[in-house]
Structure 1
Amino acid sequence: MQYQRIEKGRFLSRPNRFIAHVELNGRTEIVHVKNTGRCRELLTPGATVYLEKSGNPARKTKYDLIAVEKGNLLVNMDAQAPNQVFREWAEGGGFRPDLTLLRPETTWGDSRFDFYWEAADGSRGFVEVKGVTLEEGGHACFPDAPTERGVKHLKELIRSREAGYEAAVCFVIQMAGMTDFAPNDVTHPAFGDALRLAARSGVQVIAQECAVTPDSLSISETVPVCL
């Protein structure tokens, strides 16, 4: 995926989940943060951030904060990006080469999955996509905060698998150079337990890191999953 009209700034503060104060061209700008997660290890005072200027003159904020430098890492933190880059990757044959249908936001029973797919061999299934921005010593982790919603999604994937569908959860790591991926058992052990149960139940667990630039994001390499 490609961003437009990118500008470089310096992070100052984050009054709430939705906005940040950024120094841009010598002035303080109030910008929209495209990630409501904590991101405390990313948004530190003085960090270099990248903003996309909106093309909508009626918006209250002119910019979206989409990426941040963490040491030598460039981390995309746009929470909407993982689904988009997964779709681009899957449509290009990365998920599986024989897809005949890839439909986003599909309801099944009481569940709503990020994607439903069908393949030429008659198989069909669901995929949940999770964006990963947490890194510790070259290891990618999820989640960065407790997520009961994430546990619920895994349980729904298990139910779909029991009903005869194929099922997968894809962790889109929004940075490059990771050694591996693992659930963050320290922050939310219940999510790690649910992920291991899902894997034992036949749910495919995938981790894909991304090539990241200030104005682009695309899925690149497969990363080993450590459960």
Structure 2
Amino acid sequence: MQFPSPLVRGRLVRRYKRFLADVTLDSGEVVTAACPNTGSMLGLATTGAAVWLSVSQSPTRKYAHTWELVEADLGAGPTLVGINTSHPNRIVAEAIAAGHIPELADYAALRREVRYGLASRIDILLEDPAKGLAYVEIKNVHLSRTAGLAEFPDSVTERGVKHLTELAAMVAAGHRAVMLYLIQRADAERFTFAEDIDPRYVAAFHSARAAGVEAIAYTCALSPEEISLARPVPIRF
């Protein structure tokens, strides 16, 4: 996924009201940017952190800038982390179309945001006359508290529990269901669950796995120009 124009760099002043962030650009200008992330952003909203913003030319936008990337360092060197939770579906769809996710290859059609379950929408529905249907739910991952280890979730997610339950129902109905954790950071070598943050989600995940829901995790390569799928990492159940 390429950004429509190069991102602008600055330093984070503060994140507030969940959806806003003040940033001092390298030019010295202070701007208010939209923060497209509903989670806690634990460890990623530190005052003074280097951040990158996209800039919209739309005259109807209240805030022209959107926070996209932040630089983080857990002691093994700095890495870029993507915080925009609206990007993972597009990144994964592009990777599937390019054949970069072997677990989800060779389906005849791909549709996004298809209604299913109890008033929900599946992120990606794969369809094939021979293979049947595959329901793919995508979760954005950016939390890391130990070098090399990515974790999910970074806050309590009732919605995430609901999605796991509905994926299990799709398996019971005879379809394939896949939980894909997209890690928007390049320093992850493995993935696990933050049970101390949301034990209910972890319990729901194990129940879904027992019901036949599959789980895979991939890292991303990030730059101020683009974000793309990088490589699979093992999940520590």
Q: TM-score, normalised by structure 2?
A: 0.92
50-59 or 107-116: which moved more?
107-116
Which residue in 1 is equivalent to 2:106? 98
Per-residue CA deviations over 1:83-127 (Å, capped at 9, x if unaligned) read 110100111123333111111111124242111111353321201
The answer to whether residue 133 in structure 2 is matched with residue 124 in structure 1 is yes
86-95 or 128-137: which moved more?
86-95
What is the alpha-carbon distance in structure 1 between the residues aligned to residue 16 and residue 218 of structure 2?
32
What is the alpha-carbon distance in structure 2 between the residues aligned to residue 77 and residue 109 of structure 1?
28
Which residue in 2 is equivalent to 1:15? 16
Which residue in 2 is equivalent to 1:59? 61
For the 8 Å contact 1:98–1:120, the answer to whether it is kept is no
For the 8 Å contact 2:42–2:154, the answer to whether it is kept is no
Alignment of 1:12-51 (within 5 A): 12-24=13-25, 25-51=27-53
Identity of aligned residues (%): 36
Per-residue CA deviations over 1:163-197 (Å, capped at 9, x if unaligned) read 00000010000011312111110100111111111
The unaligned stretches of length 5 or more in structure 1 are none
The answer to whether residue 89 in structure 2 is matched with residue 83 in structure 1 is yes
Q: Report how many aligned residue pairs link the two structures.
A: 227
Q: TM-score, normalised by structure 1?
A: 0.96
Secondary structure of 1:89's counterpart equals helix
The unaligned stretches of length 5 or more in structure 2 are none
| Off by >3 Å, runs of 4+ in structure 1 | none
Q: Which amino acid aligns with 2:130?
A: D
The answer to whether residue 212 in structure 2 is matched with residue 213 in structure 1 is no
What is the alpha-carbon distance in structure 1 between the residues aligned to residue 12 and residue 64 of structure 2?
16
What is the alpha-carbon distance in structure 1 between the residues aligned to residue 95 and residue 60 of structure 2?
33
What is the alpha-carbon distance in structure 2 between the residues aligned to residue 57 and residue 196 of structure 1?
47
